[in-house]
Amino acid sequence: MIHLSLPAALSALLAGIGVYGVLARRNAVLVLVGVELILNAANLLLVTAGSRPGAPLSAGPVLTLFVITIAAAEITVALAIILVMFRRTGHIDLTAVPDLTDDEPDDAGDVDAEAPRADDRDGHPRDAVREPAAAGEGVG
C-alpha cells in the first residue's frame, strides 16, 4: 500500500523545477532539459492517477507511454532546429540579440574556420556552411 499524495507532491515539485530550468537557462539545450522535467512531472501524475483503484481503461500507464513517445519526437525535432541555429549563428544563446541582417557574414568563428579546407577540396566557398550538416544528420 502506498499513499498517493507522495507521488503527487513529487510531481508538483518536478514541474516547478522544470519551470525554473526553462526560465533560468540561456543555453538552448539546457532549456530543453527543463522541458523534459515538466513532461516527466506530467508522466508521474498520469501514473499516480492511473494507480488509484478503479481507474478505467488502463488510461494512466497507456497515456504515459504515449507522452514518452511524443517527448522523443519533440526532442528530435527540437535538437535538429538547435543544430541549424548553431550552424547559422555560431552559438545557441537564446538571449542574444538576433541577427536579422540578410547577407553579410558576421563574426561567429567556427563555421568560418572550416572555410580553407573546403575551398581546397573543391573550390566552392559555400561548402563551408554546408559541412556541419553531415554532423547534424547523426542526431536528426
Partner 1 sequence: MTTRDIVFTAVGAVTALSALLSVTTKQVVHAALWLLVCLGSLAGAYLVLGQELVGLVQLLVYVGAIVVLVLFALMLTRAPIGPHAEIDTPWWQRLAGALLGAATTALLASLLLPLFSGATADLDTPTTTTPQVAQAVFGTWVWPFELLSVLLLVALIGAFAVSRLVLHRDGADGADGARHPGTVSSGARSDGRG
Q: Take residue 95 and report the three cell numbers written for it.
A: 538571449
Nearest CB to partner 1, comparing residues 72 and 97: 72
Match 517527448 to its residue by C-alpha cell. Answer: 71
Nearest CB to partner 1, comparing residues 1 and 97: 1
Task: Tell me the closest approach of the beta carbon of residue 11 to partner 1, in angstroms.
Answer: 7
Task: Tell me the closest approach of the beta carbon of residue 67 to partner 1, in angstroms.
Answer: 10
Task: Tell me the closest approach of the beta carbon of residue 85 to partner 1, in angstroms.
Answer: 9
Burial class of 63 by CB neighbour count within 10 A (0 to 12, 13 to 18, 19+): middle
3-class SS of residue 15: helix
